[in-house]
Chain A
Amino acid sequence: MDPLALNHRHVTRREFFGRTACGVGTAALASLLARDGLAAPVGSAHVGGLPGVPHFAPKAKHVIYLFQNGAPTHVELYDYKPQLRALHGQTMPESYAAGKRFSTMTGDPKGKRVLGPVEPFRQHGQSGAWVSAFLPHIASVADELCFIKSMHTDAVNHAPAISLLLSGAQLPGRPTAGAWLAYGLGTETDQLPAFVVMTSVSKGTTCGQIFYDFYWGSGFLPSRFQGAKFRGSGDPVLYLSNPDGMSRNLRRGLLDDIAALNDLKLRDFGDPEIATRVAQYEMAFKMQASVPELTDFSSESPEVLAMYGPQVHEQGTYAYNCLMARRLIERGVRFVQVMHAGWDQHGSLTTELYTQCRDTDQPSAALVKDLKQRGLLDDTLVIWGGEFGRTPFIQGNFDDRKRWGRDHHPYAFTVWMAGGGTKAGITYGASDDLAMNAVENPVHVHDFQATLLHLLGIDHKRLTYRFQGRDFRLTDVHGEVVKGILA
């Protein structure tokens, strides 16, 4: 036999790894393993990530993004403007909207009538934050929150705006924030994916926007960084359950046999990818146990469950997903994206908006309280917000209160953050007196992204990935960290 081939046959796996672990070959092997998120041995608390990241000491280690899909009305919920009430029913002063682009549903804003907020506002907590009567629970945790009332974006339709917010570009195809963090920071569990996504919609919603999978895509990053979509019914992870008749015990035995045969192959062929494969099959087996444990709420106290509201027991609801989000980050998951659709109130401010708030208000507030009481809020950044705001003027017939609506509005909207190194109990930035344009400390989507990365210890300009000859980053070629909200 060819001596070289003979030599291959005699390299056992142990020798292979042993040799390379202390020789210069470590670099080559490490690059292979790092590519597959296995730079650290399976079983340790930290998996994957890039060397040198985080760039500086992070404030937050985990992110829970409560994404309100469809664009919640800042005018009704957070951005209190007495002047809107005063001008209610009058023609919108032209100077506010002149030359601005709106969706084709509005077209030219000229002559549109001002619509005051549907419900009254009140100040809450020591911080005196203005929150609408639509959101009593969120109002009750106002002192934990950092409101940014001067958000603005470039896009005027849902999919491009969500894509811009989550990936930095209006067209699909770039990695989303969660994928960037999974790529850059890795994760703190070998039992669960680094980036998990859950979606929900209120029952009876007529205008839900579709959840495209590019909202949690990894773009040109390797696909294992994409958000793992936990489903709202059945197995939370596709194909998680063994087929009927296949016991966990038998599965274990079969995986051992597969590993034994793969090990023979590794010894024979020497391809390090085989070792990675064995590790991934192991993690699949662990997930088969860890995910059901994750979704078993029986260990939660009745008080905690009650805090999230009655829907917490129903898989696929926002309340259920909020509690899941806490359980996920507790187990080391890096980024949890909870998305709730139905905020597109073109003609349902006086109807479906109540349902939206009823289903999301209590769980959102409960999550903040729950994290706080467990001491998790310090290193968990919670974000609540949608892709843009809604017009201060009416969409629809002013005399038909039942169908009052507001159209898409990119020029000002509100998001809030909690924990994770943000200042608690502040309001940052402001829109003008009609909630039309962000005028004080405007925060562009890219600034928001830069800040998010900053809180996780990442310089947004330095977390890049080369694709098609260009170094891409979440903030495209823009973005300034919003220092005013950093604790």
Chain B
Amino acid sequence: MPPQPSSVLRTRAQAATQVLCRVVLIAVGCALTAPIAVAGERKPVDFSRDVLPILSDNCFRCHGPDANTRKGNLRLDVKDGALRAEDAVINPGHSAESEVVLRITSNEPDEIMPPPKSGRTLTAAQIDTLERWIDEGAKWGKHWAFEPPRDAPPPDVRNRAWPRNAIDRFIIARLETEGLAPSPEADRTALIRRVSLDLTGLPPSPAAVDDFLADTTPDAYERLVDRLLASPQYGERMVWEWLDAARYADSNGYQGDGERTMWPWRDWAISALNRNQPFDAFTVQQLAGDLLPDASRDDKLATGFCRNHPINGEGGRIAEENRIDYVMDMAETAGTVWLGLTFNCCRCHDHKFDSLTQRDYYGLFAFFNQTPVNGGGGNPQTPPVVDFITPEQSTHLATLNEKLSAAAVAVGILEQSLFPRPEGEPASASDKASKTPPEIAAVLKLKPGARGRAQLDQLEKYWLTPEPAYAAAIKAQREALDARDGFNRSLPRVMVMEDIPNPRPTFVLSRGSYEKPTDPVSANVPASMPPLPSDVPRNRLALARWLVAPENPLTARVTVNRVWQQFFGTGLVKTSEDFGVQGEIPSHPALLDWLAREFVRSGWDMKALQGLIVTSSTYRQSSRVSPALVERDPQNRLLARGSRFRLPSWMIRDQALAASGLLIAKEGGPPVKPYQPSGVWEEATFGNKRYQQDHGDALYRRSVYTFWRRIVGPTAFFDTNARTTCVVKPTRTNSPMHALTTLNDVTFVEAARALAQRVLKTAGPSPNERVELAFRLVLTRKPSSEERRVLLGSLDRARREFSADPTAARKYLVVGESPRDETLDPVEHAAYTALASAILNLDEALTKQ
């Protein structure tokens, strides 16, 4: 029987009162979910929470699901193995008479488990837990994440004033048992900045701040949240994590790294988020839109999600090897995004820890194994595709085609006189052609219109001197071909999913190798999970619907956990990519389950879920922290304070553009190429790819529209997913390289200049007013008097420096392509630019607090 959450909490509360509590408390902070053994009155051991992690971590490698590495014919991952009657290793109720306990407590090197060479040892507390579990009857259970979410109401709590909604009752219930109080609400300026960044990725405008501060109605904050959720910037912000998960990029990756045109899919995703498409429909459309009855163009477009994987066009690659890679990528991406499970281990063998088998893996693989893609070549628009060609583009393409045909006809006419031969014969049949080298004759055998790019090159080179007029005609044809192909390649065609009529057989691949098929498998979901309905075709549509079926224990949990992670920095399950046995147990299991059920009950309503989170008292807390609380809960897993963590790098850029007034709000369309230090692409590709920076508005578009070359991502971003595989958990590091970027990148220097100009032109004339506006534009709040003193001092220093060297001031003011208001005094403008740059680099500016 699963324990009530409060029992866990009470155990920990008691721990806190023990004499040795300090050490334990740190353990609570660092690994909140680790079971903690304490003396005194004990609560029953819970299998899933307390026992399974110990077994999984220490025993499953040799006594787990993988039959090939199993030792001593003993399985400890299934009840039939661990509690087997014959040759029993566990004697329920009697730990002292259980072989398992004798082995884990043995002093003999060749007896003790885990064996010394495994490098693993059990702690005294872990041994104690296992003993108690056996003494209590060795109750078996399932890993929590494979059980359906429990239907438990929010707990009763002592502090009834604090909770605003159900989330808060779960959070404070835990705090109360830990003996902690929540933090006071953040002040209103902090709140509006926090929630604006969270929901739109942009800081609030000063006008929005003023409106909010002036609005004294009780639901002012809720209405602010509604406005933000309804703004078109919402989708542009929310899509980031989805693009990371979908490994979206604007090029193939690998050698060649050809540019692809998947951006209409990206725009579709933004629009789906903006119109709050229910997450179940969002899921079905992306995994199987093409299989929906009367699939629309959008339905097919949505399946671009699956095709966002890299394409390897490296010479020498075997097509089938590539194809298998692509299918694995699609299957593993779905496994991570919806099930929160790591399937990749099962490519080669049964999972070492989770009850996933290699057969399960290839069962999932089989759903995606049915597209007509054969894996050959590096075409970044490998069919099946849906095109998004406008009528104008279509007309232009037709014109280019006509020009090409005309150029080929012109060549043909010249060849009539140049290569006299019988009517109907190719040019190669002429005397003149017979005297050319075989490769030239071979090209001449083809009709002029049938010659390829390289062949035209050959001809042109060969005839350049002997027949310059003819060579010129060939050149014209080549140029027309280049013009046509270049334009054609740039036309948006989105790679999408489609199933071949006769299913391709799928086999288990030995060691995951394409050349070693073994047993045939049919498309199926993992055996340890609820089955597919028996009356539907086993295709991607069935899989997608199964993922979002109410019986699925994982999808809703995994999804709400990712949303939670987005707002609080860490998921309720910290390992948002792994809900398996080796993943971390939720910090607030009942809350996770409640949210999952609520999400499904609401019709998978994403905006409702996010609205609920950001209007909670939990979310609204101040992120100030006392040393005692840092010590107690360094990672803020208990949420006795608001979250405080560095913004994603793309959001730091968008914030700078918005605060400076440079931001261009245009939505959607082909990717843009903002500033980038010269030579980065060239160096990575031996000059094959040249970065052609855009100009004008394209420099100031939101970061989500920045062109993403897979082999060398945009340089202005850091801690981003490399977009080669699905990633659902952000990395947040703190490095000097990041500081150099935000101090020196043209985008940031120019934003500082524009911000300074905005301040000089719109604030009052006193430095005090100007400094205050600059500060407010970035941080929303006004500076304290102490901060004001530092800022004014900084301004004075910069002014002195630039007064002494006005040339330097002028140089500093020409960074970036946006025009400067030349009526502004350069020294003054430069000094404010330096100040603005400092503000944009404050910890608070880089941080959501």
A contacts, CB < 8 Å to B: 2, 4-5, 7-8, 11, 15-16, 19-20, 23-25, 27-29, 31-32, 36, 101, 103-105, 156-159, 171-173, 193, 199, 201, 205, 208-214, 217, 222-224, 228, 231-235, 237-247, 249-251, 253-254, 257-258, 260-262, 264-265, 268-274, 276-278, 280-281, 283-284, 287-288, 316, 341, 408, 461-462, 466, 468-470
Residues of A within 8 A of B735 (CB): 223-224, 280
B677-A264 in contact (CB<8A): no
Nearest A residue to B716 by beta-carbon distance? A239
Q: Is the CB–CB distance between B715 and A280 below 8 Å?
A: no
Q: Contacting B740 at CB < 8 Å: which of A159, A213, A237?
A: A237
Cβ distance A323 to chain B, nearest Cβ, rounded Å: 19
Q: Within 8 Å of chain A (Cβ to Cβ): is B809?
A: yes
Instruction: Give the docked Cα–Cα distance between A238 and B676 (Å).
Output: 10
The CA of A25 and the CA of B629, in the complex, are separated in Å by: 10
User: Does the CB pair A247–B581 fall under 8 Å?
Assistant: no
B627 touches A20 (CB 8 A): yes
Q: A4-B181, A246-B812, A270-B625 are in contact. Are A462 and B119 (CB under 8 A)?
A: yes
Interfacial chain B residues near A231, Cβ < 8 Å: 679-680, 683
Q: Is there an interface contact between A469 and B731, defined as CB atoms closer than 8 Å?
A: no
- CA separation between A278 and B844, bound complex, in Å? 12
Identify the closest chain B residue to A220 (Cβ). B731
Tell me if B314 counts as interface (CB < 8 A to partner A): yes
Q: Would you call B184 and A246 a contact (CB within 8 A)?
A: no
Once A257-B794, A269-B625, A270-B625 are accepted as A-B contacts, the answer to whether A280 and B736 lie under 8 Å apart by CB is yes
What separation, in Å, do the CA atoms of A253 and B791 have in the docked complex? 11
B749 sits at the interface (CB 8 A): yes
Beta-carbon contact of B811 and A244 below 8 Å: yes
9 contacts between A and B (CB under 8 A): A101-B515, A172-B722, A213-B712, A223-B731, A234-B678, A238-B737, A264-B790, A271-B623, A274-B843
Contacts of B34 in A (CB 8 A): none
A468 and B627 in contact, given A223-B719, A257-B794, A264-B787 (Cβ under 8 angstroms) = no
Nearest-neighbour CB distance to chain B for A210, whole angstroms, equals 6
Given contacts A241-B744, A265-B842, 14 further A-B contacts (CB under 8 A): A5-B184, A5-B622, A8-B626, A158-B314, A213-B713, A232-B679, A233-B683, A239-B740, A242-B744, A245-B808, A254-B837, A271-B849, A468-B578, A469-B575
Q: Mark B658-684, 1 if CB is under 8 A from A, else 0.
A: 000000000000000000011110011
**Complexed CA–CA distance, A257 and B794 (Å):** 6
Q: How far is the CA of A13 from the CA of B342 in the complex (A)?
A: 42
> Which residues from B are CB-within-8-Å of A262?
842-843
A465 to B753, CA, bound (A): 44
- Residues on the B chain within 8 Å of A408, using CB: 316
Q: Is B317 an interface residue (CB 8 A)?
A: yes
Also in contact, A8 and B625, with CB within 8 A (given A223-B731, A287-B736): yes
- A16 / chain B contacts, CB cutoff of 8 Å: 627
Find the residue from A32, A260, A287 having the highest chain B CB count within 10 A: A260
B695 contacts A by Cβ under 8 Å: no
Alpha-carbon separation in the docked complex, A7 to B348 (Å): 56
Which of chain B's residues 304-337 have a Cβ closer than 8 Å to chain A?
A: 312, 314-318, 325
Do A287 and B719 touch across chains, with their CB atoms under 8 A apart? no
B624 within 8 A of partner (CB): yes
On whether the beta carbons of B744 and A217 are closer than 8 Å, the reply is: no
How far is the CB of A200 from the nearest CB of chain B, in Å?
10
CA A16 – CA B784 in complex, angstroms? 21
Which residues on the B side are within 8 Å of A223 (C-beta)? Answer: 718-719, 731, 733, 735
Check A258–B801 contact: CB distance below 8 A. no
Pick from A28, A158, A244 the residue with the most CB of B within 10 Å.
A28
Known: A31-B30, A257-B790, A280-B736. A271 touches B812 (CB 8 A): no
The answer to whether B630 touches A272, judged by C-beta atoms less than 8 angstroms apart, is yes
State whether the Cβ of B447 lies closer than 8 Å to any Cβ in chain A: no
The answer to whether B722 and A214 touch across the interface, beta carbons within 8 angstroms, is: yes
Please state if B630 and A222 are interface contacts (CB–CB under 8 Å).
no
CB distance from A346 to the nearest CB of B (A): 9
Taking a contact as CB atoms closer than 8 A, the residue among B254, B632, B731 that contacts A159 in the complex is: B254
**Option from A156, A254, A271 in Cβ contact (under 8 Å) with B625:** A271
Question: Nearest Cβ in chain B — how far from A172, in angstroms?
Answer: 5
Residues of A within 8 A of B724 (CB): 172-173, 214
Find chain A residues with CB under 8 A from B813 CB.
245
Name A284's contact: one of B578, B739, B749 (CB within 8 Å). B739
A468 & B316 in contact (Cβ 8 Å cutoff) = no
Tell me whether B626 and A270 are in contact (CB under 8 A).
yes
C-alpha gap A272/B625 in the complex (Å)? 10
In the complex, chain B residues whose CB is within 8 Å of the CB of A31: 30, 634
Complex CA–CA separation, A240 to B715 (angstroms): 13
Q: How far is the CB of A484 from chain B (nearest CB, A)?
A: 22
Which residues of B does A touch, CB under 8 Å? 22-23, 26, 29-30, 119, 181, 183-184, 254-255, 257, 312, 314-318, 325, 342, 345, 352-354, 515, 575, 577-578, 580-583, 622-627, 630-632, 634, 644-646, 677-680, 683-686, 711-713, 715, 718-719, 722, 724-725, 731, 733-741, 743-746, 749, 784, 786-787, 790-791, 793-794, 797-798, 801, 805, 807-815, 830, 834, 837-838, 841-844, 846-847, 849
List A contacts of B352 (CB < 8 A).
Answer: 470
CB atoms of A258 and B838 under 8 A apart: yes
Q: Of B312, B644, B793, which one neighbours A273 at CB under 8 angstroms?
A: B644
Q: Are A277 and B577 interface neighbours, CB within 8 A?
A: no
Closest to B632 in A: A28
Contacts of A213 on B, CB cut-off 8 Å?
A: 684, 711-713, 722
For B580, what are the chain A residues with a Cβ–Cβ distance below 8 Å? Answer: 469
Q: Which residues of A contact B736 (CB under 8 A)?
A: 280-281, 283-284, 287
Inter-subunit contact B634/A32 (CB<8 Å)? yes
For A212, give the chain B residue with the smallest CB separation.
Answer: B711
Does A469 lie within 8 Å of B801, measured CB to CB? no
B634 in contact with A271 (CB, 8 Å): no
Whether A468 lies near B30 (C-beta < 8 A) is no
| B255→A217 contact, CB < 8 A | no
Q: Known contacts A245-B811, A265-B844, A277-B843: does B684 contact A210 (CB below 8 Å)?
A: yes
Cross-chain contact B317 with A239 (CB below 8 angstroms):
no
User: How far, in Å, is B500 (CB) from chain A's closest CB?
Assistant: 24
The CB with the most chain B CB atoms within 10 A, among A16, A158, A222, A243, is that of A243
The 10 closest A-B pairs by CB, nearest first: A469-B582, A245-B812, A245-B811, A103-B316, A25-B631, A284-B739, A284-B736, A257-B794, A244-B811, A283-B736
Residues of A within 8 Å of B738, CB to CB, are 280
Cα–Cα distance between A29 and B787 once the two chains are bound (Å): 27
A260 to chain B, nearest CB (A): 5
CA distance A155 to B834 in the complex (A): 52
B183 partner residues in chain A, CB cutoff 8 A: 4-5
Nearest-CB distance from B695 to chain A (Å)?
Answer: 19
Instruction: Say which residue of A24, A157, A242, A268 sits within 8 Å of B624 (CB atoms).
Output: A268
Structural contact, A105 and B515, CB atoms closer than 8 A: no
Q: How far is the CB of B361 from chain A (nearest CB, A)?
A: 15
